[in-house]
Structure 1
Amino acid sequence: MLHRSHQPADYQCPFCELVQGLPFSQDNLCAPTDLIYQTELVAAIMACDGFGNYGGHAMIIPTAHLEALYDLDDATGAAIMKETKRVALAMKLAWNPEGTSTRQHNEPAGNQHVWHYHQHVFPRYHDDQLYQQLRHRVSVEDRARKAQELRRALFSPEHPEPLQASDLVR
Structure 2
Amino acid sequence: MLHSSHEPTDYQCPFCELLNDQPFSPDNLCAPSDLIYRTPLVAAIMACDGFGNYGGHVMIIPTAHLEALYDLDEQTGSAIMWETKRVALAMKLAWNPAGTSTRQHNEPAGNQHVWHYHQHVFPRYADDELYRQLRHRVSVEDRARKALELRSALFSAEHPYRLTDTDVVR
TM-score range, shorter chain: over 0.9
Q: Within 5 A, what are the aligned runs for 1:1-170?
A: 1-156=1-156, 158-159=157-158, 162-163=161-162
Gaps of 5+ in 1: 164-170
Shift of 1:2: 1.1
Shift of 1:52: 0.2
Q: Distance in 2 between matches of 1:161 and 1:96?
A: 15
Q: Are 2:93 and 2:159, in contact at CA under 8 Å, matched by a contact in 1?
A: no
Task: Report Cα offsets for 1:116-143 as digits up to 9, x if no partner.
Answer: 0000000000110000000000000000
Q: Distance in 1 between matches of 2:131 and 2:160?
A: 34
Gaps of 5+ in 2: 163-170
Q: Distance in 1 between matches of 2:135 and 2:10?
A: 27
Q: Compute the RMSD of aligned alpha carbons.
A: 1.3
Q: Distance in 1 between matches of 2:93 and 2:50?
A: 20
Provide the TM-score with structure 2 as the length reference: 0.93
Aligned length: 163
Q: Distance in 2 between matches of 1:138 and 1:28?
A: 14
Task: Report Cα offsets for 1:51-105 as digits up to 9, x if no partner.
Answer: 0000000000000000000000000000000000000000000000000000000
Provide the TM-score with structure 1 as the length reference: 0.93
Query: Deviating runs (4+, > 4 A) in structure 1?
Result: none
Query: Aligned residues: percent identity?
Result: 83
Secondary structure in 1 aligned to 2:29? coil
Is the alpha carbon distance of 1:30 and 1:136 closer, same or farther for their aligned partners in structure 2, counting shifts above 3 Å? Answer: same
Q: Distance in 2 between matches of 1:133 and 1:43?
A: 25
